[in-house]
Amino acid sequence: MTSLHEALQRTPGIVAAYLVETTTVAAVLVDGDRRIVDCNSAFVRLVGSHGKPIGNSVAGYLYDPAEQIDVVDVAERYWREMEDSARRQAAEQLPAAEHSSADRLPDGSRQLDGALSAFRFSFQPKGLSLHTVRFYAARIADKLLFLGESPTLGESEIIHKMSEMNHEITNLSRETAKKNAALERANAQIKQLMNTDHLTGLANRRHFSELSGRARSLAERRGFPLSVIMIDIDHFKAINDRYGHHGGDRVLVAAAELLSRGTRNEDIVARWGGEEFLVMLQDADAQWAVAFGERIRQSLSGMEVERLAGATITASFGVAQMHPGENLEALIIRADQAMYRAKRQGRNLVCVADDPA
């Protein structure tokens, strides 16, 4: 065995298992009537479906409204062009006496079964924004298989993008003064990628640690109180199951906007991870923080989220005030423990952490 291609041909089961389980490559199998036979979870997420749309027309999900064509049309058009090109080449190479079967390819077949074709396709599922995805398509017996690369920006892509932008900055620094504005924009974009959560626009965990460390030092020097609140959206998995991942994302964005509006300029709001948010309130004791948490809790429970009709959104809150000499890790752990106590006591509550031992 001397090539990756040969290795993959010998292990088709591994490749198949990967395509079924992966969340980054969307796979969908379509029959001759353009109806979906099967798909993986990445396809469900890509098109914003609430479950596998088995039996539905693929045109309801992979459709270009501008061109008024679906992904099957594009693949068929590509294959027709390939077949026409193959016939022309065969006609040029064969003697005239052998041109009796002009509508056949050199190997006698009419179609390129198993041939993998790549093309870009723009589509807009109902209620979602326009996506442009690179698809790979193949005929397998009487079915069509489509593999689509995820359009979302993953962590490795962000790192790659940051590397490219750093390279751009190096080049811009060598240019004349008129390029300074472009240099500043590139720096700002890198800083935003490094410091913000790409979905909500809030500070990410790394940036929160940086900002909160400075806030803690200032509070200790000046002797004013400092509190943190750990917030976790209740029953978030059920929201994802009912409304799909796009629905869950809308809840996170709406909660982030509510927290941003409700805090002061000197406060720090971050997406801590998953459905968790962390707020640091400067010059605020536990009593003040509890009152703030109650206001946010009430606003959240009465909030309506776009395209999530009938959804009830609640969250559990854990409040902890910093004690003299307490480090940030210990403070956040106490807030997290208080939040889990709120969960155990029925959710949609604000609980205050116990004093450190």
Is 326 a known active-site residue? no
CA dist 199 and 352 (Å) reads: 29
CA dist 157 and 49 (Å) reads: 25
CA dist 65 and 130 (Å) reads: 9
CA dist 83 and 80 (Å) reads: 5
**Beta sheet of 117-123, edge-to-edge order:** 36-39, 25-30, 143-149, 131-140, 117-123
Cα 228 to Cα 201, 266, 295, 317: the distances in Å are: 20, 13, 15, 10
- Which one of the listed residues 92, 155, 168, 275 is annotated catalytic? 275
Buried b or exposed e, range 102-118, using 16+ CB within 10 angstroms: eeebeeeeeebeeeebe
Question: First vs last Cα of the chain: how many Å apart?
Answer: 62
Q: 12: helix, coil or strand?
A: helix
Residues 6+ apart with CB under 8 A from 115: 79, 82, 138, 139
Question: Residue 192 — φ and ψ, nearest 5°?
Answer: -65, -45
CA dist 143 and 157 (Å) reads: 33
Beta strands in 190-327 (DSSP E): 226-233, 268-273, 276-282, 315-321
Q: What is the dihedral of CA 53, 54, 58, 61, to 10 degrees?
A: 0
Report, as residue numbers or ranges, the catalytic residues: 275
